[in-house]
Structures are given as structure tokens and as C-alpha cells.
Amino acid sequence: MDFSFIDPRTVYLIGHLLGIAFGAGGAFVSDLLFLKAVRDNKITKTEMGFIEIGGYCVTIGLVVLVVSGAFLFSLDPEKYLASSKFLVKMTVVTILIANGFLLHAVHIPRMKKRLNESLTAHRSKFWKLALIGSGVLSAVSWVSAIILGAFKSIPYEYEAILAVYVGAVILATAVAYVLRDVLVPQAHKR
């Protein structure tokens, strides 16, 4: 059987696409599960388990994405470093990784401590808003990374592309803040 049609770039690209599927899929499903879970103002052990599984998918996806991306980068570093689209994508992926650390270090442990209890009775207003903001940042960042990856090139400088991303984050955050009672019931009440 002839496998000469398989080149390293294709293998790395397949890994990259799988990383996106696991990461973005896990993030979107986790966010939706969280929003569904808090409708009754508490999270059960079962709901928390599903949220954690989604978080593990995100982690696996990000690891696969970063490793496969490093291999793709190694094929032509000069080309990638000259691409403003690539540099913004790396900024967005870095933000995704930082947001993931925040989720696993702060948000999930706090939710676990409050299983089957009223969430609004124990959460600070800042934490409630930070939790919503983290979800918004995750969703906008995953969508942005996918969009940036889909374009072969973007004829704008790093700052201009990054400004569009920041604008999308600000707009989505403002919408989430306005809809906070729908997204997370009683999110701003004590």
C-alpha cells in the first residue's frame, strides 16, 4: 500500500484540526452545560461532572493544538512570523490558555465547593461577573481562532486585527452583561 501522499504538513494539520474540534467543542458544550445547570441556581454533582469532562476536552484540545501548531510552525517559521494573522492567532491562543488556567484554578474549585447549594447566596458579585466574562472570553476566542485559521491571509496589520478581536470581546461582554439575568439567573443580586 502506497502512503507517499501523506506528508508531514498534512499530518500536523490533521492534528491541528482535531485539537480545534476537541478544544472548541469542549468549550462550547461546557459553557452550555454550565448555563443549563445554573437555571435552578445550583449545580449538582452530576452536572459538575459533565462540566469537568468538557474542561478536560478543552485541555486536551489546547495541548494537541499547541503541539501540532508548533510542528506546523517548524515547517516555515519565517513565513509564520511575518504573518500578522498568525501573530494575532497566537495571542488569542495564549488568552485561551490563560483563561483555561483561571477556569481550573478558580471557577471550577469554587463551583465544586457549592455543589447542591444556592450559588447566588455564596458568590461575590465580582466572581459572578468574572465567571460570565470568562465564558464570553472563551467563546469569542475560540470563534476568533477558528476564523483566523480559516483565512489564508489577512491584509491588515497585527494591531488592526487585534482591535477587531478586542472589539468583539467587548461587544460580547456587554451583551452578556445586559443578558446576565437570562444567562445566569440572579447573577448580579445578593
Confidence of residue 75 (pLDDT cuts 50, 70, 90): very high
Name the nearest CA neighbour of 24 among 92, 86, 112, 109: 92
Between CA 55 and CA 51 the distance in angstroms is 6
Query: Is the whole-model pTM more than 0.75?
Result: yes
**Which positions ≥6 away from 125 have C-beta within 8 Å?**
188, 190
What is the per-residue pLDDT across 86-117, written as a single tens digit (0 to 9) for each? 999 999 999 999 999 998 898 888 888 888 77
Cα 86 to Cα 23, 120, 173, distances in angstroms = 18, 41, 24
Q: How many CB atoms lie within 10 A of CB 26?
A: 22
What ranges do the domains of the chain cover? 8-183
Where are the strands (E) in 109-153, listed by range? none
Q: Classify 113 as helix, strand or coil.
A: helix
Distance between CA atoms of residues 175 and 182, nearest Å: 11
Is there a contact between 45 and 115 (Cβ–Cβ < 8 Å)? yes
> Of all residues in the chain, what percent carry a pLDDT higher than 90?
60
pLDDT top residue among 181 and 113: 113
d(CA 94, CA 92): 5
Residue range 33-58, pLDDT digits in tens: 888 877 777 788 998 999 889 999 99
